[in-house]
Amino acid sequence: RPRVSGRAQGRSAILEKFGGAAKGPAPHLRRVGGTATVKAMLLEWCRARTRGYQHVEVQNFSGSWGSGLAFCALLHSFFPDAFDYGSLDPGDRRHNFALAFATAEERAGCAPLLEVEDMVRLPVPDAKCVYTYLQELYRCLVAMGLVKTKKR
């Protein structure tokens, strides 16, 4: 008599309990976009919202956000009365980050996930931190009804 492993016995017991192996084709499952797809969509959304803003060219989740102006442009696109974008200086990173993060918190209810000091300390922002912050900002703007999403 051949030996059967414990794993095979367990699998047989489960199949027996639930009426045997599945019959017919597996139900059609729709693939949901993975992390790369979500990142690409968020980056494209940021690009679209900041297009036309001076000193802003969103290419990634790190260096593109280094002056703080991309954050300011993104927020200004939703809250144009919050501050005068034209008066901002790309060299005043501390002010730009402080203004953007305060505006996001006050106007959009976005949690302060990034610290101004951390952003100015690094010459290039950490891509994971920026991505996480932008996801939270997007979520808050959707909750406010300022961003329309496709219903599935």
> Is 99 within a domain?
yes
Question: What pLDDT score was predicted for residue 92?
Answer: 98
> Is 6 within a domain?
no
> Is 106 within a domain?
yes
Domain span at residue 68 reads 29-143
What is the DSSP secondary structure assignment for residue 30, as one 8-state letter? P
Q: Report pLDDT digits (tens) over 39-68.
A: 999 999 999 999 999 999 999 999 999 999
3-state secondary structure of 47: helix
> Is 77 within a domain?
yes
**Bigger pLDDT: 21 vs 130:** 130
Q: Report pLDDT digits (tens) over 129-144.
A: 999 999 999 999 999 9
Position 36 confidence tier, pLDDT thresholds 50, 70, 90 = confident
> Is 76 within a domain?
yes
Map 121-142 to HEC letters.
HCCCCCHHHHHHHHHHHHHHHH
> Is 12 within a domain?
no
Query: CB atoms < 10 A from the CB of 97, how many?
Result: 25
> Is 65 within a domain?
yes
CATH code of 94's domain: 1.10.418.10
Are 106 and 78 in contact by the 8 Å Cβ rule? The answer is no
> Is 126 within a domain?
yes
pLDDT at 5 over 70: no
Number of folded domains that form the chain: 1
Q: Which amino acid is at 8?
A: A
